Amino acid sequence: MKSFILSVFLLLVSGCSGGGGTSNTTPQTAATNVGMFVDGPVHGLEYSSKSHSGSTDSSGFFYFTSGEEVTFKIGSITLGKRSITTANSLITPLDLVTGGTVDD
């Protein structure tokens, strides 16, 4: 199951770089990435960062810009915050606990 989730996740976050013939003078902005909050998956978990906010979808997916801190909440209760990159975008509840381990 974990390998399936990881495969789906990698497909979603991988980009394509094709060559286009036109030039674009619009300034580039930071890329939006997709992360995943799992302990099930977790549906409806609120998240927010400098660039994105919303609720996780039925698969636990959320949007983020690499390097930004993302806050996860249920209603007015903050579960935790984490700086997220494309390398650590699979988030579990333990990731939000300082020093948390699977033995806790």
Q: Per-residue pLDDT for 8 more than 60?
A: no
The string of pLDDT tens digits covering residues 27-66 is 567 889 999 888 888 999 999 999 999 999 999 999 999 9
CB 91 within 8 A of CB 65: no
Residue 30 pLDDT: 83
Higher-pLDDT residue of 27 and 92 is 92
Residue 4, helix vs strand vs coil:
helix
In a domain, 60, yes or no: yes
In a domain, 89, yes or no: yes
| Containing structural domain, residue 46 | 2-10+30-95
- Backbone φ and ψ for 58, nearest 5 degrees, come out as -65, -15
How far apart (Å, rounded) are the C-alpha atoms in residues 65 and 2? 24
Residue 37 pLDDT: 87
pLDDT averaged over every residue in the chain: 78
% of the chain residues with pLDDT over 70? 68
Q: Both tokens of residue 32?
A: 């939006």
In a domain, 91, yes or no: yes
> Can you give the CATH number for the domain in which 79 is found?
2.60.40
Higher-pLDDT residue of 64 and 15 is 64
